[in-house]
């Protein structure tokens, strides 16, 4: 739990109302004592990295800040091609604070969702002990749902940690706090993403975007030129210069689901070209190296995802 750390950082300085909202973010390592039978690959681990952030704000800024986080979460999930649904989790049986504060916090979250035109359902009694929350549930291509992002509105912790800001009237006032994560567990999100794409990551996301395949040893020099050309333009590429037949190299590249394989031989070296093979589509023919590079940079820039994942 990273929350106390952010509050201690906030408390280390005097803050004016002009300083707010104050947003703090960190990639923090957190631990949970999961029983061994519950551990499952990257999906459920005992130690994981959380993209944690805390926002300290004026009461008048609550709606705007919540809407900003909703926009952030929506942009991230759409970038990766995920559909999601939203749940508004309300006060649990064991909770801090008065019913009036809980009602104010819950209505603030609900108001922000309605203003954004977001569909949601109520999840009674599943809020955090210190406040209600908006939960984002991803849906992968296998139809499974994963609770990843969350927005939690907290009036309690600023009170317990005696957090203050100096208001326009020169008096001390209590800030309101948002806890938010987008991915939740970075490790779990990578696991979800890997299964969603069945390991066939789109070009913009793939660890290796291009593999260059020289046909014989005499084509190694040109393959290295192609590699240097791609690397200079920020494309993640490598050369398979092993003493293997080209058919073997192509098959292995397909098994590893590399988005683009570039076969280079005498004709390609002579013409400054590459023979392109795209994962899932096969042979795309030969084209100039500059033409291929321009096309790939555009594809990466648009963050294009496959129409159907899990293929």
Most confident among 119-128, 146-155, 270-279 (mean pLDDT): 270-279
* pLDDT band at residue 75 under the 50/70/90 scheme: very high
For 191-236, the pLDDT digits (tens) are: 999 999 999 999 999 999 999 999 999 999 999 999 999 999 999 9
How far is residue 48 from each of residues 5, 24, 188, 191, measured CA to CA in Å?
A: 17, 19, 8, 12
Tell me the CATH number at 219.
3.40.50.800
113 and 37, same structural domain?
yes
292 and 180, same structural domain?
no
Helix axes 62-79, 99-115, angle to 10 degrees: 50
166 and 86, same structural domain?
yes
146 and 119, same structural domain?
yes
Q: What average pLDDT does range 73-80 have in this prediction?
A: 94
Last residue of a domain, which of 196, 225, 244? 196
pLDDT at 35: 82
- pTM value is 0.85
How far is residue 114 from each of residues 95, 110, 277, 289, measured CA to CA in Å?
A: 25, 6, 47, 50
61 and 95, same structural domain?
yes
Q: Is the pLDDT reported for residue 2 higher than 80?
A: no
pLDDT at 309: 62
224 and 108, same structural domain?
no
Q: Is the pLDDT reported for residue 311 higher than 60?
A: no
Quote the number of domains for the chain. 2
Range of the domain at 161: 3-196
Mean pLDDT of all residues in the chain?
Answer: 92
295 and 269, same structural domain?
yes
Tell me the CATH number at 12.
3.30.930.10
pLDDT at 69: 96
For residue 202, being part of any structural domain is answered with no
Q: What are the catalytic residues?
A: 3, 32, 50, 52, 54, 133, 179
Q: What is the percentage of the chain residues whose pLDDT exceeds 70?
A: 98
For residue 309, being part of any structural domain is answered with no
For 230-289, the pLDDT digits (tens) are: 999 999 999 999 999 999 999 999 999 999 999 999 999 999 999 999 999 999 999 999
């Amino acid at each position: 739990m990273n929350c106390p750390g952010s509050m201690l950082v906030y408390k280390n300085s005097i803050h004016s109302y002009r300083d707010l909202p104050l947003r703090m973010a960190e990639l923090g390592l957190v631990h949970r004592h999961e029983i061994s039978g519950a551990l499952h690959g990257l999906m459920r681990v005992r130690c994981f990295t959380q993209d944690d952030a805390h926002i300290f704000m004026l009461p008048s800024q609550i709606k705007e800040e919540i809407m900003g986080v909703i926009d952030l979460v929506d942009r991230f999930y759409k970038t990766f091609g995920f559909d999601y649904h939203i749940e508004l989790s309300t006060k649990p049986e064991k909770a801090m604070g008065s019913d009036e504060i809980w009602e104010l916090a819950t209505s603030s979250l609900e108001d922000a969702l309605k203003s954004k035109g977001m569909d949601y359902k109520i999840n009674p009694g599943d809020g955090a002990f210190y406040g209600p929350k908006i939960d984002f549930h991803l849906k992968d291509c296998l139809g499974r749902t994963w609770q990843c992002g969350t927005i939690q509105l907290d009036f309690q912790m600023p009170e317990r940690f005696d957090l203050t800001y100096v208001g326009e009237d020169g008096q001390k006032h209590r800030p309101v706090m948002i806890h938010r994560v987008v991915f939740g567990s970075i490790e779990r999100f990578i696991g979800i993403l890997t299964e969603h794409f069945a390991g066939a990551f789109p070009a913009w996301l793939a660890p290796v975007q291009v593999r260059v395949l020289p046909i014989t040893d005499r084509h190694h020099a040109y393959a290295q030129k192609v590699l240097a050309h791609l690397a200079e333009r920020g494309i993640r590429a490598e050369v398979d210069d092993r003493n293997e037949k080209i058919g073997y190299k192509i098959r292995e590249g397909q098994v590893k689901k590399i988005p683009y394989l570039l076969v280079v031989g005498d004709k390609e070296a002579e013409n400054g070209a590459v023979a392109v093979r795209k994962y899932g589509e096969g042979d795309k023919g030969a084209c100039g190296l500059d033409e291929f590079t321009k096309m790939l940079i555009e594809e990466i820039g648009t963050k294009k995802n496959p129409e159907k994942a899990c293929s």
